[in-house]
Structure 1
């Protein structure tokens, strides 16, 4: 079924000109009415509180790339360079959990989020973005990670799920390809890998993704200064949100009505001339939409 076309209710605005080297990891906290996000290469976790614009940051001694709230305990589940960890921003306590690929020394974890069962899905990738060593892991409530898909991608991004949770979408960023899989909700297993959408050269590279309450996919474009919204069945582009900087990395719906789209960006790999022309590179953006997002799933552990 073709989805209706959403509309923008405002122009995108930079709400935090953070100058992040590699902004990523968006997660909206309904309880705190705040957006968590990260700067992967500067090893920092950020929080933007919507009501008063308060900005908070926490420093780590390694990369931090994806964030989810915990369902039954205070604090967050986060991916660090080698695996999953628990972090409580209120106390600063950090507990490292499973590191599932010790043999892949050149890898780090990248994008990830939780499914509706509270399992944390996270992709690994080559730190240099060259070697085809990326894989997709499922971290269960006990913190143990299982390699579900040995992707062979140099850079992984996503995942996100269809509205009925029966399809998972996952990105082979370097090859500009988004794949769809049949997703078994109970067991958390994948099958039926197939191509879903391929970017053209002018569209950059597919980065982070999210799914709205109508099942439409919203995708960040690295290198193309935009976010696009797509029909989940046909992959038809329904809307394009233009941003004032090239490297758009991740996105999440938030706000009291889940209709504000928060978008991260990066300064990484921009030349001096590009940085001069793009003063908001690495900033956190927000745009009001007619679409409604879905509450972020929480980690069951």
Structure 2
């Protein structure tokens, strides 16, 4: 497809670009398998800066209410420091030779939710975990999801969506009882990956393998399917400008003949990509 109006933000393709999140003054994302984190200011002329190289899988990072930069890395939760290092905070106890973190998010109550998955080709065994910063306790809260993505928390802070990527579906659940899931959406032609909830409560989903973004209303009505110039989009984020930037990470891994944008983090103005949705 045409790459217009998308532009490449990253300076090189990532093996597994992931984890778009807002940061003070900009955005950040990771090359998950390489354990690298990048920071960039939308609209800036400067290239993204690589702020961390951990040498282990790095899924995503967000600031908590105290300003700590919390991340999921390896098989647990760490704090990322300004000097590029990390401090372990909690671990799942999983074997890092078989398991790694994948995606996650800070909940409105300050707890940290994240998924783990098998990465060595053995029998799938994914799960969703919750870390409580008050007592540093970590607990498995939902099993049986081979490749969990998300969660994202819905307006009100009591409900969440979890992408069951291998099954091609998005599940709805609650923070009070995360194991009690109900179907939200079934994804056609690809696998649901990273999600974002915009200021109107709409859910944006990067569809791995389908080169598109799906946009849902809170009641799961599919509002739009927006084409992308990357075959394996992995996460999506909207910024806060009057004409927001839509940013998308992507992966080059497994592609025998990648296109010119595959693996790059890309950006486009909302008005050029999704004008029919009404900002």
Both proteins in one fold, TM over 0.5:
yes
Give per-residue Cα distances to partners, 1:160-210, cap 9 Å, x unaligned. Answer: 1221223211011111011111333xxxx425311111112x2x1000001
Give per-residue Cα distances to partners, 1:119-142, cap 9 Å, x unaligned. Answer: 111011111466331111111124
Please say if 1:154 is aligned against 2:146: yes
CA RMSD, Structure 1 to Structure 2 (Å)? 2.1
One of 87, 108, 113 as aligned partner of 1:116: 108
Distance 1:164 1:258, change over 3 A: farther
1:124 is paired with a residue whose SS is strand
Distance 1:258 1:141, change over 3 A: farther
For normalisation by structure 1, the TM-score amounts to 0.82
Please say if 1:243 is aligned against 2:212: no
User: Can you give the 5+ residue segments of structure 1 that lack an aligned partner in the other structure?
Assistant: 1-9, 292-301
Give per-residue Cα distances to partners, 1:86-119, cap 9 Å, x unaligned. Answer: 012x322310111123368511110001111121
**Equivalent-residue separation in structure 1 for 2:242 and 2:12 (angstroms):** 25
Match of 1:286 in 2: 267
2:204 is paired with a residue whose SS is strand
Match of 1:299 in 2: none
**Equivalent-residue separation in structure 2 for 1:289 and 1:140 (angstroms):** 36
One of 75, 78, 84 as aligned partner of 1:82: 75
**Equivalent-residue separation in structure 1 for 2:196 and 2:227 (angstroms):** 17
Deviation of the 1:18 alpha carbon: 2.2
CA contact (8 A) 2:247 2:266 kept: yes
Deviation of the 1:46 alpha carbon: 0.9
Match of 2:61 in 1: 67
Tell me which moved more, 219-228 or 104-113: 104-113
Match of 2:90 in 1: 98
Please say if 1:218 is aligned against 2:204: yes
**Equivalent-residue separation in structure 1 for 2:232 and 2:64 (angstroms):** 29
CA contact (8 A) 1:38 1:65 kept: yes
Count the aligned residue pairs: 266
Match of 2:277 in 1: none
Match of 2:9 in 1: 15
Deviation of the 1:17 alpha carbon: 4.2
Deviation of the 1:257 alpha carbon: 4.9
One of 169, 172, 181 as aligned partner of 2:173: 181
Distance 1:255 1:164, change over 3 A: closer
Give per-residue Cα distances to partners, 1:31-57, cap 9 Å, x unaligned. Answer: 2x2211000112211111233434211
**Equivalent-residue separation in structure 1 for 2:260 and 2:87 (angstroms):** 37
Distance 1:103 1:60, change over 3 A: closer
Deviation of the 1:288 alpha carbon: 2.1
CA contact (8 A) 2:243 2:270 kept: no
User: Can you give the 5+ residue segments of structure 2 that lack an aligned partner in the other structure?
Assistant: 275-279
Match of 1:4 in 2: none
Please say if 1:208 is aligned against 2:201: no
